[in-house]
Amino acid sequence: MKRVTGLGGVFFKSATPEKLVALYKDHLGIEPDGYGSSVFTWLEKDRPERVGMTVLSPHKQDTSYFAPSDAPYMFNFRVADLHALLKQLRSEGVQVIDKVEELPYGKFGWIIDPEGRKIELWEPPDVDDPFAEPAK
């Protein structure tokens, strides 16, 4: 079974996320999206017609998105088959959060590592660009 296939993103807490986004944009040329994140796109090695992406996303200090972890960051890993992987991880004794979100841009599940950090697992949809505007 394929497990993690790549890094989907890095999410971290910041006292001033808007200032970080401005610095990244103005001084590093990293353009934010409408959510204050930055998306780096690339082409997948085995399917070069398919767009892959890695997200850099600062969050406010008081975000509850990383809960139950109190770590100031969370990794997002791309996976090939979220439901199968979560089942396998449970059978191996990994702490799996009993929740899966299925959205147009992918399926999301979470685990807790042995040090209490929340790890997000993301199965992108099987389309060339999951964030592309739908054809009209």
Using one digit for the tens of pLDDT, what is the confidence trace for 15-53?
999 999 999 999 999 999 988 899 999 998 888 888 899
pTM to 2 decimal places: 0.89
Q: Which residues contact 49 (CB under 8 A, 6 or more apart)?
A: 43, 128
Q: Which residue positions in the chain have pLDDT lower than 50?
A: none
Handedness of CA 1, 85, 12, 55 (dihedral sign): positive
Q: Which residue's structure tokens are 């997000």?
A: 120
100/81 Cα distance (integer angstroms) = 12
What is the model's pLDDT at position 46? 85
Q: Determine the CATH number of domain 4-123.
A: 3.10.180.10
What is the model's pLDDT at position 126? 83
Strands 73-79 and 118-123, bridge-based pairing:
parallel
